[in-house]
């Protein structure tokens, strides 16, 4: 096993990674920005190095700073967590050429999947259903109009390097398509330094279902079932569940098979997630692949009993998968609520400030992945995730009751959080029956505000 690794992230995920390392007997070196010098995760690491000022561009996204820290700390591998550099193929390449193991897939696979148009084409070539649309970059109005007329309105313009719904635009007719095209290209150029866009038919009332896969360096690939991430707001996931309350055994078999097929087709290694949209008829379509550990990985851990971070580290170290597909279990139901420091009554603005009081829920079947504590100052520079509250119970009914109990126990004072929103969601009859799709939360919030 590695003797020491660098954790190139912050907050709850840095802590999450350090915890697994402790259990594996791997020493950790954490990194921090000036704004995180009092952070809790630093106290759990064996050592830490300050890599720059609060602004992420100059610290957690600063490749030379992180690589220097790695050299000073004399580590063998880097765990990137999620966000920041986790899906940066250039960073993975720099690690590879500096003889540092990047705990994730190869830079080659990351480059392939980072380009959503290429990922879409790869899926289609492997006979995996994709949403009707363009099979290469849409360069001009004529091409855009031609595709829109082929697939029919409404259509969705997506940025090839966007992912996670960032930079998406719906068009309902020729005029809005032509207008949105130029805007979408400019936005993509500004946000991702690449203006490539593609067009898909807009699937209304869809659900977001993703499959967790794990692959070693010897061609063994398994899936760990699906997660349902349909409850989103402005392309930010709010609540995730495993298994999905609306996926039939047949659909599960089909999407898991499709996920394995695409992972094998690209020689995928380490952990990854294949995302699908499921339409109202229950048909599934590949949308993209995420080449990182995801925020919502704990729901899969709870139902399978596995530790995905340990799997990542073992695989990166060159170990073989010690589990066959048939031995993967799925027990009960897990639900995760993302607790963000933001005000749902104030356009969901992120909320920086001091947490004056924090008291964490516990008890049977409750897991809290969080870096906050009483007296913690939420810095203004990063995303607003404070905590992930995860419950695991035998049935969905019990999981919902447990989540309700745990949300009511959670006390966070000093900053406003999404806890009240989560309570509303899990008590909504449509959530309880599982009858939710794309715009559930958006509609739901509108209703409550009227």
Residues designated catalytic: 292
Interface residue with ligand MV4, options 87, 88, 187, 200 (CB under 6 A)? 200
326 secondary structure, DSSP code: G
Does 434 contact ligand MV4 by CB under 6 A?
A: no
Does 334 contact ligand MV4 by CB under 6 A?
A: no
Does 160 contact ligand MV4 by CB under 6 A?
A: no
Interface residue with ligand MV4, options 59, 134, 230, 244 (CB under 6 A)? 230
- Report how many residues bind ligand MV4 under the rule CB under 6 A: 17
Tokens 């940025």, residue located = 159
Query: Considering only residues 288-317, where is the footprint of ligand MV4 by CB under 6 A?
Result: none
Does 164 contact ligand MV4 by CB under 6 A?
A: yes
Where does 194-332 show beta strands of DSSP type E? Answer: 197-201, 207-215, 221-233, 236-242, 270-278, 284-290
Piece of 102-110, 199-207, 336-344, 352-360 that binds ligand MV4 (CB under 6 A) = 199-207
Rounded Cα–Cα distance for residues 273 and 24 (Å): 24
Piece of 197-205, 334-342, 354-362, 380-388 that binds ligand MV4 (CB under 6 A) = 197-205
Does 438 contact ligand MV4 by CB under 6 A?
A: yes
Comparing C-alpha atoms, which of 60, 52, 83 is closest to residue 6? 60
- DSSP-H helix ranges across 47-204: 63-73, 89-97, 107-114, 116-125, 141-151, 174-192
Torsion angle, CA of 275/289/243/389, rounded to 10 degrees? -110
| Distances, alpha carbon 237 to alpha carbons 22, 120, 234, 338, 421, in Å | 29, 22, 8, 8, 13
Three-point CA angle 263, 16, 257, nearest 5° = 20
Does 62 contact ligand MV4 by CB under 6 A?
A: no
Q: Are 84 and 57 in contact (CB under 8 A)?
A: no
Nearer to ligand MV4, 202 or 382 (CB): 202
Does 138 contact ligand MV4 by CB under 6 A?
A: no
Does 287 contact ligand MV4 by CB under 6 A?
A: yes
Nearest residue to ligand MV4 on Cβ basis: 165
Does 128 contact ligand MV4 by CB under 6 A?
A: no
Comparing C-alpha atoms, which of 387, 261, 411, 262 is closest to residue 336? 387
Does 199 contact ligand MV4 by CB under 6 A?
A: no
Interface residue with ligand MV4, options 202, 276, 286, 348 (CB under 6 A)? 202
Nearer to ligand MV4, 87 or 200 (CB): 200
Rounded Cα–Cα distance for residues 159 and 171 (Å): 14
Rounded Cα–Cα distance for residues 392 and 366 (Å): 7
* DSSP sequence for 252-281: HHHHHHHHHHHHHHTT--EEEEEEEEE-TT
CB of 442 to ligand MV4, least distance (A): 8
Interface residue with ligand MV4, options 203, 263, 303, 358 (CB under 6 A)? 203
Nearer to ligand MV4, 156 or 188 (CB): 156
Does 277 contact ligand MV4 by CB under 6 A?
A: yes
Cβ atoms within 10 Å, residue 168: 17
Does 165 contact ligand MV4 by CB under 6 A?
A: yes
Does 157 contact ligand MV4 by CB under 6 A?
A: no
Residues that bind ligand MV4 (CB under 6 A): 131, 156, 164-165, 200-203, 206-208, 230, 232, 235, 277, 287, 438
């Amino acid at each position: 096993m590695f003797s020491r690794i660098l954790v190139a992230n912050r907050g709850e995920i840095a802590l999450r990674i350090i915890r697994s390392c402790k259990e594996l007997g791997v020493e950790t070196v954490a990194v921090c920005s000036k704004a995180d010098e009092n952070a809790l995760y630093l106290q759990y690491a064996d050592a830490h190095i300050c890599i720059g000022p609060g602004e992420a561009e100059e610290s957690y996204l600063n490749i030379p700073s992180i690589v220097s820290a790695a050299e000073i700390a004399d580590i063998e591998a880097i765990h990137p967590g999620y966000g920041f550099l986790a899906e940066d193929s250039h960073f993975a390449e720099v690690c590879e050429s500096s003889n540092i193991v990047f705990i994730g897939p190869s830079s080659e696979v990351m480059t392939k999947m980072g380009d959503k148009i290429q990922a879409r084409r790869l899926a289609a070539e492997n006979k995996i259903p994709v949403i009707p649309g363009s099979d290469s970059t849409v360069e001009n109005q004529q091409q855009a109009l031609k595709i829109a007329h082929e697939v029919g309105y409404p259509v969705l313009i997506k940025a090839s390097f966007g992912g996670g719904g960032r930079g998406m635009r719906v068009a309902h007719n020729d005029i809005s398509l032509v207008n949105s095209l130029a805007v979408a290209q400019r936005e993509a150029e500004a946000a991702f330094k690449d203006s490539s866009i593609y067009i898909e038919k807009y699937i209304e009332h869809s659900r977001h279902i993703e499959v967790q896969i794990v692959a070693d360096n010897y061609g063994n690939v398994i899936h760990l079932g699906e997660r349902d991430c349909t409850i989103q707001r402005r392309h930010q996931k709010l609540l995730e569940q495993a298994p999905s309350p609306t996926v039939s055994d047949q659909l599960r078999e089909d999407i898991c098979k499709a996920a394995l097929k695409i992972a094998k087709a690209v020689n995928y290694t380490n952990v990854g997630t294949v995302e699908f949209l499921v339409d109202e008829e229950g048909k599934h379509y590949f949308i993209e692949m995420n080449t990182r550990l995801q925020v919502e990985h704990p729901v899969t851990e709870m139902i399978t009993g596995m530790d995905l971070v340990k799997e990542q580290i073992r695989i990166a170290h060159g170990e073989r998968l010690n589990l066959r597909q048939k031995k993967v279990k799925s027990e009960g139901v897990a639900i995760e609520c993302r607790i963000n420091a933001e005000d749902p009554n104030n356009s969901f603005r992120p909320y920086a400030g001091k947490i004056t009081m924090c008291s964490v829920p516990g008890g049977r079947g409750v897991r809290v992945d969080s870096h906050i504590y009483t007296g913690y100052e939420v810095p203004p520079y990063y995303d607003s995730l404070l905590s992930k509250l995860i419950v695991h119970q035998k049935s969905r009914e019990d999981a919902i009751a447990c989540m309700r109990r745990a949300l009511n126990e959670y006390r966070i004072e000093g900053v406003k959080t999404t806890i009240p929103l989560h309570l509303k969601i899990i008590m909504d009859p449509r959530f309880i029956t599982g009858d939710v799709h794309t715009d559930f939360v958006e509609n739901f919030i509108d209703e409550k505000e009227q």
